[in-house]
């Protein structure tokens, strides 16, 4: 791992929740000089991420936590502080995909399940992270909202509602804590080559098309994104190079939002 002084987050401590984009983000943080705590419900996946980082000379640990449970989040924050003494950056990435149906056909159970992770999981993490970072009068947090937090999507009303709410939380946190050294932004990816688009494509097409065949044409840039595309932006937003960025809901979507 590079240790040169040009690294974006050299010497900082970062927390990353969730897999997929979370793995690429954790790896990018360590590439840029940070120590990383990975939190994931999928223990084998999280351990694999940590092993990949440590095998390349980085510094990463894993703490299992269900971000929708307040006590798990509090333990996650406490154990991070015990291990590293502070936390400078956080990426709240944990989330679940939606079941596709028109709003009137969506069940209350599905609505509650999606908001229970995508929103109810982000809020306690954000609250605990801010409380801890305020002790140092500095910190940068990035929430994952996706483009479903910027525009509507037919058949995805609970999912879109959860991501719009994450963008709202981001704006409020930035307003309330900016003068105390905190920066809070959200990143809104388009179609990214992870497990989640595969699951959505399967519902839309019943397996008749691959994820790439379905999603590539939706982006003016002509391709699906990679987790690394998103990780680059997340780590930059957490670095001092983005010192005037706060309260932004930033799309990284190959031009998708420009069509709206």
Ramachandran area for residue 210 (φ above 0: left; ψ -120 to 50: alpha; else beta):
beta
The position carrying tokens 């690394």 is 228
- Asked if residues 215 and 197 have their Cβ atoms less than 8 Å apart, the reply is yes
- CA of 218: how far to CAs of 187, 205, 208, in Å? 19, 15, 17
- Using CB atoms within 10 A of its CB, is residue 82 exposed (0-12), middle (13-18) or buried (19+)? exposed
**Catalytic residue chosen out of the listed positions 29, 159, 177, 256:** 159
Is 159 noted as a catalytic residue in this protein? yes
- Asked if residues 256 and 53 have their Cβ atoms less than 8 Å apart, the reply is no
What does the block give as tokens for 149?
């937090």
Beta bridge partners of 113: none
Q: Among all residues, which ones are annotated catalytic?
A: 159
């Amino acid at each position: 791992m590079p240790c040169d002084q040009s690294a974006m987050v050299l010497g900082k401590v970062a927390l990353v929740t969730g897999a997929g984009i979370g793995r690429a983000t954790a790896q990018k943080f360590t590439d840029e000089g940070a120590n990383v705590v990975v939190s994931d419900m999928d223990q084998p996946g999280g351990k694999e991420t940590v092993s990949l980082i440590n095998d390349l000379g980085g510094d990463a640990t894993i703490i299992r936590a269900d971000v929708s449970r307040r006590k798990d989040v509090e333990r996650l924050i406490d154990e991070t502080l015990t291990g590293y003494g502070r936390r400078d950056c956080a990426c709240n990435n944990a989330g679940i995909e939606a079941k596709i149906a028109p709003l009137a056909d969506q069940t209350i159970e599905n609505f509650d399940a999606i908001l229970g992770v995508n929103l109810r999981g982000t809020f306690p993490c954000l609250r605990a992270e801010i409380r801890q970072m305020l002790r140092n009068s500095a910190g940068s947090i990035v929430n994952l909202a996706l483009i479903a937090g910027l525009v509507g999507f037919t058949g995805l009303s609970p999912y879109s509602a959860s991501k719009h709410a994450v963008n709202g939380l981001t704006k409020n946190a930035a307003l309330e804590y900016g003068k105390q050294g905190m920066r809070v932004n959200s990143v809104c990816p388009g179609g990214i080559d992870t497990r989640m688009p595969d699951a959505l494509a399967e519902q839309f097409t019943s397996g008749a098309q691959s994820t790439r065949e379905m999603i590539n044409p939706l982006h003016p840039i002509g391709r699906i994104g990679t987790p690394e595309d998103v990780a680059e932006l997340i780590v930059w937003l957490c670095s001092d190079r983005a010192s005037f960025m706060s309260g932004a809901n930033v799309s990284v979507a190959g031009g998708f939002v420009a069509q709206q």
